[in-house]
Amino acid sequence: MLWHEDMTEIDGLIRYRQDWRAVIAELEATRPMTAKRADNFLKHVSNLKVGSLVRVGIVEGSRAKSSDDESSRVAKRMLDPEFWHLSYWDPITSTYEFARGLPSKITPEGSPSQSESEVLSGLTKADALEIHQDIESVLVQDITVTEKQRLISARLGQGKFRSEVLERWHRSCAVTGSTTLDVIRASHSKPWRSCTNEERLDPSNGLPLVATLDALFDAGLITFNDNGDLLVSPRLQDDTLKVDGLKLVRALTASERIFLDYHRREIYKS
């Protein structure tokens, strides 16, 4: 639970920063049980990596000072529907900061990444909600923080998943050969919700496609056969989209063909 009165807005983000070691030192003298709970919270924070996603409860009320004998009194509490992330951690002073929203880089692997707003921009409200729900389903899994971060990055087409998919296709679009990475998305052939966690992270289950082709692929309006030829759904009636005759720039591997076979059977609108 984070206190609303201690939140500030910096660089367009709502942030919550505390020097926890000093707080605990004061609490130990007046309220040892509260100090113990605070220490447990600090241990939890210390196990997180910068960029780790968390869900935050926000409280308002009468907050006791660490020198007070009485505890704080909560008048109102709510679970923030938005994700927060650990944006700063100093193990020397035990100073931590949480920021509202997804980090601009979700994983520490150094691969290109985007903010949540950039990823979700252009999506319908229903699609954006689906992504939020998928991320929520990852956060409640009994897996390590690192695994959660990798899965969330993969869901957003980022992080190690995106990097490995791009490497398989010479860091270019699998169809056009474009190397403008800012417009290339790493799309899952077998959709996220139908996958195991292993399949979600498998680069064989990804195709790097420029934005227009990625949208058509996700919607099942195009797919690819085992020879790499692009197949156009009869439901695609837009003559301005010149996609006939296109094909993948290289031959598919056996594992890539398995995932694309699923896409043809279950996603493609034949």
Q: Name, in order, each residue with C-beta under 8 angstroms of 6's C-beta and a sequence gap of 6 or more.
A: 16, 18
Residue 189 lies in a domain: yes
Flag residues of the chain having pLDDT under 50: 106-117
Residue 227 lies in a domain: yes
Q: Tell me the pTM.
A: 0.57
Same structural domain, 120 and 54: no
8-state DSSP, 139: H
Measured CA to CA in angstroms, residue 161 lies from 17, 80, 106 at distances of 31, 28, 12
Same structural domain, 123 and 91: no
Residue 144 lies in a domain: yes
Q: Which of 34, 65, 100 is the last residue of a domain?
A: 100
Same structural domain, 94 and 122: no
Same structural domain, 157 and 222: yes
Domain that holds residue 120: 116-267
Our count of domains for the chain comes to 2
Residue 204 lies in a domain: yes
**Tens digit of pLDDT for each residue in 226-253?**
999 999 999 998 877 888 899 999 999 9
233: nearest Cα among 249, 221, 248: 221
Residue 107 lies in a domain: no
* 23, 39 contact by CB (below 8 A): no
* The pLDDT value given to residue 70: 61
Residue 58 lies in a domain: yes
**Tens digit of pLDDT for each residue in 129-139?**
677 777 777 77
Same structural domain, 247 and 201: yes
